[in-house]
Amino acid sequence: MRPTAPLILLTAALLAAGTLTACGSGSESDRDTVKVAFVKDTNGKVTLRDDYVRLVARQFERAHPGKKVRLIPVQAAENDYYTKIQQMMRSSKTAPDLVYEDTFLINSDIRAGLLRPLDGYLRTWDQWGQFEPSAKDAAKGPDGHTYGVPDGTDTRGLWFNKKIFRRAGLPADWRPRTWDEVLDAARTVKRKVPGVIPLNVFTGKSAGEAAVMQGFEMLLYGTGQQLHDPVSGKWVTGGKGFRDSLAFLDTVYREHLGPEVSDALSPSIQTRVAAELLPEEKLAIDLDGSWLGQQWQPTGGRPWPAWSTTLGQAPFPTRHGAPPGAVSLAGGWTWSVPSRARQPELAWQLIQTFQSRPNALEWCVRGAQIAVRGDVAADPRYLSSVPGIGFFTGLVKVSRYRPALPDYPKVSAAIGEAMEAVTAGEATPEKAAAEYDGQLASLTGGHVVARP
């Protein structure tokens, strides 16, 4: 017998490895290349951000001959995106030069040393003065340095269906002044227009930060309480405002004013609200974000031409109508430079291209973003871009930012659990608040303070 057998096995293994090597593209660490990592919508049909980033990248390449922009879109749910960019940023081999950071997470990444302060660049940048002071603060670390340039923000309020309102005998220029007026409107809808979900408030763990921000914090900040006390620098345990906010949720779901509990807690609820319940006019009132309209534009994921005449907007009221009478929360994303980036200079130049006035305007118009630059916010093209944009831009002055602290994501997860327990009927608001207190102490290392 000839000793061919080992040869065959070896060849098979080599062939397998060879095919794969041939396909793995050589990772370039070219000195003229700037790598940009950003999140891509999980809906492959929504290419707003990709298109915009590509447009700016091409502009940059034209303006800087010889330089190349390499795009790394990460198509994933937000949490998986965070995990992935954090891993990438940990090593200088895979760290992108420019990264798209959620203000939700940016402070955690600052604390972990993953980002680079931009103060040196910002000091000499003539455009920085155009940015709203509150937006500048969103990317400021506890050390007082700024780690990102925001490219827009978002605000939150009530969307309501005017047609359903007419059938329920409610006004088309609805302006609730207290929580009770919101609930009363929902009860009226439930009575007069059967078959329609009266009020959606995001809740639970699956909806993630959408539930905590659009649902819980919109309520809490309207009670006069806060999550974090800036004076003592400590997290506030679940006081009366906290319990009242959970009680509001309890009312919505116990009185069946909201979606079916199982639907409300399912991971798909956000998509269903935007792509199904609102366009199909099965939902009367929705506590949601300024970006919804983007989905219904001809280029969005679910075109709906009639939305601008069907839907009205109203600010979300404070608990008993205490001044300023309305409350909103602001989020948004920033462009940041990882500390292990190889081309920070190029990255900074790319940020400048992104945030030139015309490009910033372009992004706000395309992405239904709320402008953070004063000159963009006043631009007629911006103000006429999407119906309702003026309304949501107006909410910026009553908007609060989330506590810009590294522990925030963990606290947010604990709030989501409290909401889920109340919504599912597993705990009373009091019990859920008590459990939150216990978690809060262990999550923040005991940095808690009680407020009545």
Partner 1 sequence: MTGAVPHAARPAPAPRPAAVRRGLLRWSPLAPATVLLLLFLAGPVGYCCYLALTDTQLTGQESASFVGLANFRRAVTDPAFLNAVVLTLVFTALSSLLGQNTLGLALAALLRRASRPVRAVTGAVVITAWVLPEIVAGFLLYTFFERRGTLNALLAWLHLPTQNWLFTLPILAVSFANVWRGTAFSMLIYSAALAGIPQEVTESAEVDGAGGLRRLWHITLPMIRRSIGTNLMLNTLQTLSVFGLIWTMTRGGPGDRSQTLPVFMYDQAFMKSLIGYGTAVALLLLVVGALFSVVSLRLLREEV
Partner 2 sequence: MPRRPSRATRHRLAADAALLVTAAAFAVPLAWLVLSSLDTGATLRVRLPDAPGVANFAAVLTDEITFTPMLNSLLLCGGATSLTMVCAALAAYPLSRFRARFSRPYLLTVLFSTCLPVTALMVPVYGLFVRVDLIDTMYGTALFLATAQLPFAIWLLKNFMDGVPRALEEAAWTDGASWAQTLLRIVLPLMGPGFGVVTVYTFIMMWGNFFVPFMLLLSPEQLPASVSIFTFFGNYQGIAFGELAAFSLLYSTPVLLLYLLISRRLGGGFALGGAVKG
Q: x-or-dash pattern for partner 1, window 334-353, by CB under 8 A? A: --------------------
Query: What distances in angstroms separate CA 82 from CA 79, 102, 256, 396, 409, one per listed residue?
Result: 5, 9, 35, 26, 11
Question: Would you give the binding string for partner 1 spanning residues 421-450, x where CB under 8 A is met?
Answer: x--x-x------------------------
CB of 217 to partner 1, least distance (A): 19
Instruction: Tell the smallest beta-carbon distance from residue 443 to partner 1 (Å).
Output: 9
> HSE on the CB side for 106, CA within 13 Å?
33
Residue in 61, 180, 181, 263 binding partner 1, rule: CB under 8 A: 263
* Polymer length of the chain: 452
Residue 209 sits at the vertex; the CA angle it makes with 440 and 299, to the nearest 5 degrees, is 170
Q: How far is the CB of 215 from partner 1 (least distance, A)?
A: 16
The partner in contact with residue 124, picked from partner 2, partner 1, none with C-beta cut-offs of 5 to 8 angstroms by kind, is none
Min dist CB 259 to partner 1, Å, is: 11
- Given the complex with partner 1, which of 379 and 407 has the nearer CB atom? 407
Give the angle 434-436-438 at the CA atoms, nearest 5°. 75
Report what 109 binds from partner 2, partner 1, none; CB cut-off 5-8 Å by kind: partner 1
Q: How far apart are CA 343 and CA 133, in angstroms?
A: 28
Q: How far apart (Å, rounded) are the C-alpha atoms in residues 34 and 96? A: 8
Task: Rule CB under 8 A: say whether 265 interacts with partner 1.
Answer: yes
Where along the sequence are the contacts to partner 2 (CB under 8 A)? 1, 3-6, 8-9, 12-13, 15-17, 19-21, 23-25, 27, 40-44, 72-77, 80, 83-84, 87-88, 90-91, 93-94, 266-269, 271-272, 275-276, 302
Task: Give the shortest CB-77-to-partner 2 separation in angstroms.
Answer: 5
Minimum Å gap between C-beta 263 and partner 2 is 9
Stretch that binds partner 1, among 15-23, 203-211, 231-239, 285-293 (CB under 8 A): 203-211
Under the binding rule (CB under 8 A), the answer on residue 281 touching partner 1 is no
Q: Who contacts 331 (Cβ-Cβ below 8 Å, separation ≥6)?
A: 102, 103, 104, 153, 154, 213, 401, 402
Note if the bond before 230 is cis, omega within 30 degrees.
Answer: no
Q: 37 with 95: CB under 8 angstroms?
A: no
Closer residue to partner 2 (CB): 234 or 302: 302
Of 52, 60, 81, 82, the one binding partner 1 by CB under 8 A: 82
Two tokens at 56? 């700016």
The set of residues, in sequence order, having a beta carbon less than 8 Å from that of 397 and lying 6+ positions away, is none
- Pattern 6-35, partner 1, x by CB under 8 A: -------x----------------------
Least distance CB 329 / partner 2 (angstroms): 24
Q: Which stretch binds partner 1 (CB under 8 A): 121-129, 168-176, 201-209, 362-370?
A: 201-209
406 binds, among partner 2, partner 1, none (CB under 5 to 8 A by kind): partner 1
87 burial (CB, 10 Å; 0-12 / 13-18 / 19+) is exposed
Rounded Cα distance, 430 and 433, in Å: 5
The answer to whether the beta carbons of residues 342 and 95 sit under 8 Å apart is yes
Q: Which residue has the tokens 């081999």?
A: 93
Phi/psi for 169 (5° steps) reads: 75, 25
Q: Which residues bind partner 1 (CB under 8 A)?
A: 13, 79-80, 82-83, 86-87, 105, 107-109, 111-114, 204-206, 260-263, 265-267, 406-407, 409-410, 413, 417, 420-421, 424, 426
